Amino acid sequence: MLGYAESMSDLSLVVREAVDAIPILDIHTHLYHPSFGMTLWGIDELLTYHYLVAETMRFSDITPETFFAMPKRMQADTVWDALFVRNTPVSEATVGVLTVLSSLGLDPNRRDLTEAREYYDHVNPAEHLERVFALSGVRSLVMTNDPLHPVEAPLWQSAERDPRFHAALRIDPILNWTPDVAAHLHEKGYSVYDPLDHHGLEEVQRFFADWIKTMSPRYMAVSLPPSFDYPEDSIRARILKEAVLPACHAHGLPFAMMIGVRKQVNPRLADAGDSVGLSDMAVVERLCEEFPENKFLLTVLARENQHALCVAARKFANLLPFGCWWFMNNPLLVEETTRMRLEMLGTSFVPQHSDARVLDQLIYKWQHSRRDIATAMTSRYEALERAGRRVEVSEIRADAKRLMHDNAASWIGAPSL
């Protein structure tokens, strides 16, 4: 269909088709190279995703301790019974599971897991991986890679790499410096001691340089609490200023900050035990101003911080908002946040990342997000129409390409489409 959309209903259809047609670059996930054998997948992992565990605890009289003592399959049965059988699965995480089942050709109306288990017990993992890429529309993705992880770190020496899986050097333990971290780096041959002195900071940079050489990451990343401040008289601020940002600049890597998580407010829930807090975006503005040669990726966890994030991005072109993270990844908030960003930043941001921890989640996280991003985009094209400005289909397609792939690709040095 050439030329501009004939009517509003055509417009939303054109936008939806344009967004759906773009192969996605998923800029933040918790998936791994297939050869690492670390990627979670299948119906039991889908159902025991920590979002669903938290929800199950609200509907079930089972204690977390009892739940976590169960075998994985029994945990999955417990979640399924509580959220999908005895109650209506209306939450985003439960609907997501049903989107995955439907997309795989399984019946989402069944009240049992027999068919799903039959599929997953017999599917060829490599074939399933390709199906997930096809059904989700993801062309490539960025992992979360921890050089201090005892299982993952050794795999980087020998395991086969899939070019669709880009690395991200995740440095939470380094920035949340402890004597144990110092001991670990020292044990690995870096003359690092606690407390960290100037030479130690140089050694931390050498540690980064070694892992950047090993992983070829697209960015360095960290999650930070709402209390994160800069400048401040802290070891975290020193490592950030004297090791992390110089290393990022030296290697041409963006620094991705994920701000607003309050860790383990309910430790009994394990991975489901983290919460959200309000962050101060002035901190981000100070970093962008002090380090104008560094590029920053930023996602924030609190809905209330999204507007200030947009304002900060208007002030600093070296700041790129990305995604609707974690508690933000719900249809209402994805649509609201994307509209806000379009209205304040035009198309100069990355609307979404999946944050997928389970391979199959790529299917629902992207099917749902593409729909909500397209709705937000349509609202802006309608504003153009009201202003008397025709919208060309070619413009809509170009915008979709920027938002769903090329903005992320250009920022992290991946090939554009």
Residues that bind Zn ion (CB under 5 A): 355
For the CB of residue 144, give the shortest distance to Zn ion in the complex, in Å: 6
Q: Is 197 in the site for ligand HDL (CB under 6 A)?
A: no
Give the residue with the Cβ less far from Zn ion, 274 or 355. 355
- State which of residues 355, 372, 399, 406 lies at the interface with ligand HDL (CB under 6 A): 355
- Report the site for ligand HDL in 233-262 (rule: CB under 6 A): 258
Instruction: For Zn ion, give the closer residue by CB, 137 or 323.
Output: 323
Binding status of residue 33 toward ligand HDL by CB under 6 A: no
CB nearer to Zn ion: pick between 355 and 406: 355
Using CB under 6 A, pick the residue from 223, 299, 337, 361 that binds ligand HDL. Answer: 223
Task: Give the residue with the Cβ less far from Zn ion, 300 or 400.
Answer: 300
Phi/psi for 248 (5° steps) reads -60, -45
Match 């070694």 to its residue by tokens: 210
Residue 369 interacts, among ligand HDL, Zn ion, none and using kind-specific CB cut-offs from 5 to 8 Å, with none
368 belongs to the binding site for ligand HDL (CB under 6 A): no
Q: In terms of DSSP bridges, do strands 138-142 and 165-170 run parallel, antiparallel, or are they unpaired?
A: parallel
User: Which has the closest alpha carbon to 411: 86, 28, 22?
Assistant: 28
Under the criterion CB under 6 A, does residue 357 sit at the interface with ligand HDL? Answer: yes
Pairing of strands 275-276, 261-262: antiparallel
**Interaction of residue 326 with ligand HDL, rule CB under 6 A:** yes
Q: How far is the CB of 159 from ligand HDL (least distance, A)?
A: 22
Closer Cβ to Zn ion, 152 or 355, answer by number: 355
Q: Which residues lie near ligand HDL (CB under 6 A)?
A: 30, 144, 223, 258, 271, 274, 326, 355, 357
